[in-house]
Amino acid sequence: MRFVDTCHQNGIGVIIDFAFVHFVRDNYSLGNFDGTALYEYPPSDVSQSQWGSYNFNLSKGDVQSYLMSCAAFWLDAYHFDGIRMDAINNGIYWMGDKNRGVNDRSVDFFKKMNYNLNRKFENVMLIAEDSSDYPGVTQPVEKGGLGFDYKWDMGWMNDTLKYMKIDPLWRRGSHNMINWSMAYFYFERFILPLSHDEVVHGKATIVQKMFGGDYHNKFSQVRTLYTYMMTHPGKKLNFMGNELGMFREWDETKELDWFLLNEFPMHKMFHDFFRDLNGLTTKNPAFYEKDYEEDGFLWIDADNADENMYAYYRMTDGQKYAVVLNMSPVTRENFRMGLKDDCTLTEVLNSDNQCYGGTGVLNPQPIKSEPVKHNQWDHSAVFTLPPFGAIVFEVKDTPKPKAKAKSEEEKTTSKSAAGKCTETKKDEK
């Protein structure tokens, strides 16, 4: 309680991880609690999970009541700001296997629990760690959904990290691993996670996952990866230590490698980059206000596989940014990119800036678009794209020229036409 309260005093929200689809089998836990399978399924092919733990028997009302009471307790007494519910896939399907069908009892429990928690704790986030394609996970219970507020985008995480491990010479054949996320994104309210699961058990840390063995290129790629993540629609979850560029996997028995910031300049510069990226994406509504509305995102170029390049707009009312990602080690001078409208581009973030550990390939001056068609767009602009680099441009559309004053004859005709239109509407009314 004291820890959560201290976090709140410093403006930090706290989310608790709730692994309620299974529980450990040791003598200290609920297993065979009264000498029988009281909380778990009786001995059968569904009594034990894939982790060797017991599965809660959610067909029992008292087991459901116990678990809902646990969740309510953490929120009511400890004031947690959210619950991340673990392994939802294993609750939706019997043993997490879609081929075995839906566990209706478990699904009904999710709905009942989320409905009641949402009523009692209106501002608490309910987050599903779910890798399934089960529909309506983040739809309200009243509309037939499971009632979660957010769902982890496990597909985005797996595809993106797999792509970043590929030799850039061969990324062309895997180009859709990056652009595919937007094909399904609006079906749920997604969170993009790079969590504890990605940096433990021999999986390597995020910066280690980047292709190649060159120290500089790994950091160049991880800066571009995080620019992509933080400017992509959806909420974000980044595990502690990732922002330090740690090469040591997370260990719950040790603190983070804070010494990196003092002893290794590249890590300090990466930390500074992370700070500036967070500042850009949290202070400008274009990057979050319309996360789950289709008019908040637009591909500029999703198909440039030959150059390993992606570009898209992030938008909200009165604000627009263009994000350009170069997933190749090649500097592209005089690079032409199509644009939806006549505009001016001003570089507000460049991952290749020397202050972030990059090579310093920048676009320091505002760039005016030209009436030159490129791809499907009527306008385009030319700039320099840094190697393994990401650029965020602020986009200012050129004001449309005002219509010329009409001649007296045109005014008379216009008034007459308007009068007829008004009269027609009046008659219809």
CB 92 within 8 A of CB 106: yes
CB 357 within 8 A of CB 318: no
Cα torsion 197, 198, 199, 204: sign: positive
d(CA 246, CA 242): 6
Helices and strands per DSSP (H, E), number in the chain: 12, 16
d(CA 308, CA 289): 29
CB 245 within 8 A of CB 201: no
DSSP letter, residue 212 = S
- 400 vs 320, 322, 343, 373, 403, CA distance in Å? 17, 20, 10, 19, 9
Angle, CA 291 vertex, CA 191 and CA 341 arms, to 5°:
140
Examine the residue annotation and report whether 86 is marked as an active-site residue of this protein.
yes
**Would you state the structure tokens that stand for residue 119, as one six-digit string?**
């009523």
Examine the residue annotation and report whether 301 is marked as an active-site residue of this protein.
no
Name the catalytic one among 34, 76, 86, 295.
86
Cα torsion 84, 90, 91, 97: sign: positive
For 305-386, where are the E strands, in sequence order?
A: 309-316, 319-326, 332-339, 343-350, 367-368, 379-385
CA 16, distance to chain mean position in Å, is 19
Cα torsion 33, 39, 42, 48: sign: negative
Name the catalytic one among 40, 129, 291, 352.
129
Residues in the chain: 429
List b or e across 188-219, with b for residues whose CB sees 16 or more CB atoms inside 10 angstroms: bbbbbbbbeebbeeeebbbbbbbbeeeeebbb
Q: Are strands 235-238 and 297-304 parallel, antiparallel or unpaired?
A: unpaired
Q: Is residue 319 helix, strand or coil? A: strand
The residues annotated with a catalytic role in the active site are: 86, 129
